[in-house]
Amino acid sequence: MSLYPQKLTSLSAIAMSALCQKRTSALRLSRPRQQGVQMTEYPDTWHAFDYPLVPPTPTVVQNGQTTHCVLKEEPVGTIIHVATQKPFTYADDCVGRNPHMAHSANSTHATEEAVRELLKTVFQLN
């Protein structure tokens, strides 16, 4: 874990369960030092929001998939789905199908500015 503040950027348009998992992760990361994790949610923002070649209107990615799973890695490298305590597969119920994506110039700009500010802070730049 870094000694510097960590920033998690989340998309509010994703499934609520995934968003809750990200909030839980942010809280868990904050506890060891009681500082350093900030989570930012952008309204009306979809997957691939920072990719300018994607149309700004939400579009379904046919046969695409996204995971809303809580996963952990076992010592031998097996990825475990925490809810079932079984090896993760893309057939698990926490795998989302046909996600939406859309470009968001506003969210892209806000994210870029946030990263600039974080880098200035971490590396003490003027």
Report the relative pairing of strands 100-101 and 71-73 from DSSP bridges: unpaired
Give the separation between CA 56 and CA 49, rounded to whole angstroms: 8
Please write the tens of the pLDDT for every residue from 101-114. 999 999 999 999 99
Contacts of 116 (CB under 8 A, 6+ apart): none
Claim: this prediction has a pTM higher than 0.75: no
Six-digit token string for 94? 């926490």
Please write the tens of the pLDDT for every residue from 40-84. 888 888 889 999 999 999 999 999 988 888 889 998 889 999 999
Tell me what the mean pLDDT of segment 23-31 comes to: 65
* pLDDT at residue 122, rounded to an integer: 87
* pLDDT at residue 39, rounded to an integer: 76
Above 60 in pLDDT, residue 18? no
Tell me what the mean pLDDT of segment 2-24 comes to: 47
Give the separation between CA 12 and CA 15, rounded to whole angstroms: 8
* pLDDT at residue 2, rounded to an integer: 39
Handedness of CA 102, 105, 107, 108 (dihedral sign): positive
